[in-house]
A and B are shown apart, each in its own frame.
Chain A
Amino acid sequence: MITLENVTKRYGKFTAVDGVSFVAQPGRVTGFLGPNGAGKSTSMRIMVGLTPQDGGQALIGGHRFADIPNPSRHVGVLLDASAQHAGRTGREVLRLSAATMGMGKERVEEMLTLVGLSGSEAKRRVRNYSLGMRQRLGIANALLGDPSVLILDEPVNGLDPAGIHWMRGLLRNFAAQGGTVLLSSHLLHEVEMIADEMVLIGRGKIVARGTKAELLHTAGTYVKPEDPAALLQALHAADIAATPSGDGGFRSEAEPIDVGRAAAAAGVVLAELKRAEGEGLEEMFLQLTSDDARDSITPEGVQV
């Protein structure tokens, strides 16, 4: 279990991580989602003590990371797949880690096999690795000490669809055996595919969290009528706000049943009425995280 309580990190006047609290439960894959620069990597570095926080605390299984003896035997960490010596071979990278942890050479070979790095690939120097291969090597490195907690920063970045599918199976299996997985991503679809729970971060603050179903539940309704103008009127009469979705349909924060009732009352024919799903989550993600982009553009844009 990973527990963050009110973790804060400031760089001068800029608050990179602002009172972040959440729990990643054992037996689940928790996705840590947010745009670039939202504070994901900083939060993860704080969890493992690479970045000192200015406030709050991060505990892993009830301990500060630094208080865990030989921490790699308990917590597998991948913070940056490219942070490897370009001149070492993949196998040598793992052997150095294994030697530090006190794991045997056989474990290195097992992990190479597990992540699908072949004998000839393991002999190549890391500078000749694709990002996908580096990610696999990083996962092997994280799993080397047979940990029960995984902290992975953007592990899916650079993987092809088959690689993402493989990662999904690996992490779900790890969680099914009681392990805790926290993985970050700036891409919603990646996390959506892999994670059971999601924590959304924007501008250093947690903006939403919950299971996918819980998050979707707040996303509202998609409705597509035969006559858009008539539906808009009907919704207006029922005091339901709706916005056009661009394909002749509308989105609303209201429940589908309420939208349906309003349409029925006005006798408007509906072609589609459903709970807003995938797109809803994406919209929410964009909305929750767009403040950053908008704020950085607006000042100049308005003044010029």
Chain B
Amino acid sequence: MTTTPATVGKAPQRHTLDLSNTSTVPLGRLVKVEMRKMVDTRAGLWLIVAIVAITALITVIVFFAGSDSDHTFIGYMGGTAGPQAFLLPVLGILLVTQEWGQRTGMVTFTLEPHRGKVIAAKVLAALLFGLIAVAIAVVGAALATTLSGDPGAWDNIGLDDFGKFALLQVTGVLQGLAFGLIFLNSAAAIVTYFVLPIAFSIVTSVWSALRDIAPWVNLGTSQQPLFSAQHLSGEQWAQLVTGTLIWVVLPFLAGLIRVLRAEVK
């Protein structure tokens, strides 16, 4: 007599999940999703439209209204760097805070429970947005420089100059992201991001003891050379490093710890 398998005629009820055919969510897929989240809502989309439009507008203004000395590639880049450095951090903030303000974090962190991986995807998305913004500025500046056709407009441009503009914008968008992680609230993060450095500058300007160390601790001061792609001395690079540590790296680490531990509701 043969025995028939017990499972015949009845669907097997699985008490354990068979995970052998499932692979983890690739980081690249998460980065794509995070970038998409910035363009599929009105707030995010308009912010990006604003960044592109202001970059184009500044380039046009410098083209028509600027003096001859502004009509250089670096001149155009320097003109658009300011507004971009102003708006990109907001993009970084929204990239994080929309998950809490709109409570989508409950879905995001259920789809990918490893929060560090989600944050890594957001960091990479922020980096890409920063680099895309610089690329748009480069295209605008190159077009305008060609059209204005001033002699010597292309002089003294090296790869390091692109690097400096990229560094400026990437630092900004990551600083926004870090502030977003700390506050998990758009309004608080945006206000603090804009007010704290101003308050800090005021304090350092009236308090003489701090004035001397200001370039070392005030990121706004140490970033100044980046706007005009100046040559940076060793000391200036060191000041850039300390400023970035204080205003970007430390807030990011504090925010990361907060998010890894937070209860998502």
List residues of chain A with CB under 8 Å of any chain B CB: 1, 25-27, 45, 48-52, 60-63, 65-66, 68-74, 77, 79-80, 82-88, 92, 96-97, 99-102, 141, 148-149, 177-178
Q: Which of A45, A48, A68, A178 is in CB contact (< 8 Å) with B14?
A: A178
Q: Which of A27, A50, A177 is in CB contact (< 8 Å) with B264?
A: A50
Output the least CB separation between B115 and chain A (Å): 9
Which chain B residues border A26 with CB–CB below 8 Å? 13-15
Interface pair B43/A87, CB less than 8 Å apart: yes
Interface pair B104/A177, CB less than 8 Å apart: no
The stretch of B31-39, B55-63, B85-93, B149-157 that contacts the partner chain: B31-39
Which chain A residues border B263 with CB–CB below 8 Å? 45, 50-52
B158: interface (CB < 8 Å): no
Complex Cα distance, B40 from A92, in Å, reads 8
The stretch of B17-25, B187-195, B209-217, B239-247 that contacts the partner chain: B17-25
17 examples of A-B residue contacts, CB within 8 angstroms: A25-B13, A26-B13, A45-B263, A50-B110, A51-B265, A62-B16, A63-B17, A74-B17, A80-B103, A85-B98, A85-B104, A87-B41, A87-B42, A96-B33, A99-B29, A99-B33, A100-B30
Q: Which of A45, A61, A69, A178 is in CB contact (< 8 Å) with B23?
A: A69
From known contacts A48-B110, A72-B111, A96-B36, infer whether A148 and B14 are also in contact, taking CB-CB under 8 Å: yes
Interface pair A70/B25, CB less than 8 Å apart: yes
Interface pair B36/A74, CB less than 8 Å apart: no
Which chain B residues border A101 with CB–CB below 8 Å? 25, 111
Complex Cα distance, B33 from A92, in Å, reads 11
Which chain A residues border B14 with CB–CB below 8 Å? 1, 26, 61, 148, 178
B69: interface (CB < 8 Å): no
B11: interface (CB < 8 Å): yes
Which chain B residues border A86 with CB–CB below 8 Å? 102
Complex Cα distance, B108 from A80, in Å, reads 13
B200: interface (CB < 8 Å): no
Output the least CB separation between A56 and chain B (Å): 17
Complex Cα distance, B36 from A25, in Å, reads 38
From known contacts A66-B113, A73-B22, infer whether A82 and B17 are also in contact, taking CB-CB under 8 Å: no
Complex Cα distance, B40 from A148, in Å, reads 30
Which chain B residues border A85 with CB–CB below 8 Å? 41, 98, 102, 104
From known contacts A82-B103, A83-B103, infer whether A51 and B264 are also in contact, taking CB-CB under 8 Å: yes
Output the least CB separation between A262 and chain B (Å): 45
Which chain B residues border A48 with CB–CB below 8 Å? 110, 113
Which among A70, A73, A74 has the greatest number of chain B C-beta atoms within 10 A? Answer: A70
Q: Which of A50, A70, A177 is in CB contact (< 8 Å) with B109?
A: A50
B107: interface (CB < 8 Å): yes
Output the least CB separation between B33 and chain A (Å): 5
Which chain B residues border A100 with CB–CB below 8 Å? 25, 29-30, 33, 111-112
Complex Cα distance, B84 from A17, in Å, reads 48
From known contacts A97-B107, A178-B11, A178-B13, infer whether A68 and B264 are also in contact, taking CB-CB under 8 Å: no
Complex Cα distance, B23 from A102, in Å, reads 10
Interface pair B29/A77, CB less than 8 Å apart: no
Output the least CB separation between A288 and chain B (Å): 26
Complex Cα distance, B22 from A72, in Å, reads 10
Going nearest first, the 5 A-B pairs with the smallest beta carbon separation are: A61-B17, A83-B103, A62-B16, A87-B41, A69-B24
Complex Cα distance, B110 from A80, in Å, reads 12
Output the least CB separation between A97 and chain B (Å): 6
Output the least CB separation between B65 and chain A (Å): 37
Complex Cα distance, B16 from A62, in Å, reads 5
Q: Which of A71, A92, A97 is in CB contact (< 8 Å) with B113?
A: A71
Across the interface, name the chain B residue whose C-beta is closest to A176: B11
Interface pair A50/B40, CB less than 8 Å apart: no
B106: interface (CB < 8 Å): yes
Output the least CB separation between A99 and chain B (Å): 5
Across the interface, name the chain A residue whose C-beta is closest to B10: A178
B5: interface (CB < 8 Å): no
Q: Which of B16, B22, B106 is in CB contact (< 8 Å) with A70?
A: B22
Output the least CB separation between B175 and chain A (Å): 24
Across the interface, name the chain A residue whose C-beta is closest to B12: A178
Which chain B residues border A77 with CB–CB below 8 Å? 110
Interface pair A72/B29, CB less than 8 Å apart: no
Interface pair A102/B106, CB less than 8 Å apart: no
Interface pair A88/B40, CB less than 8 Å apart: yes
Output the least CB separation between A219 and chain B (Å): 30
Across the interface, name the chain A residue whose C-beta is closest to B264: A50
Interface pair A72/B110, CB less than 8 Å apart: yes
Output the least CB separation between A85 and chain B (Å): 4
Complex Cα distance, B39 from A92, in Å, reads 11
Which chain A residues border B40 with CB–CB below 8 Å? 88, 92, 96
Across the interface, name the chain B residue whose C-beta is closest to A41: B265
Which among A1, A70, A85, A97 has the greatest number of chain B C-beta atoms within 10 A? Answer: A85
Which chain B residues border A74 with CB–CB below 8 Å? 17, 19, 22
Q: Which of B17, B32, B37 is in CB contact (< 8 Å) with A62?
A: B17
Interface pair B42/A141, CB less than 8 Å apart: no
Which chain A residues border B261 with CB–CB below 8 Å? 52
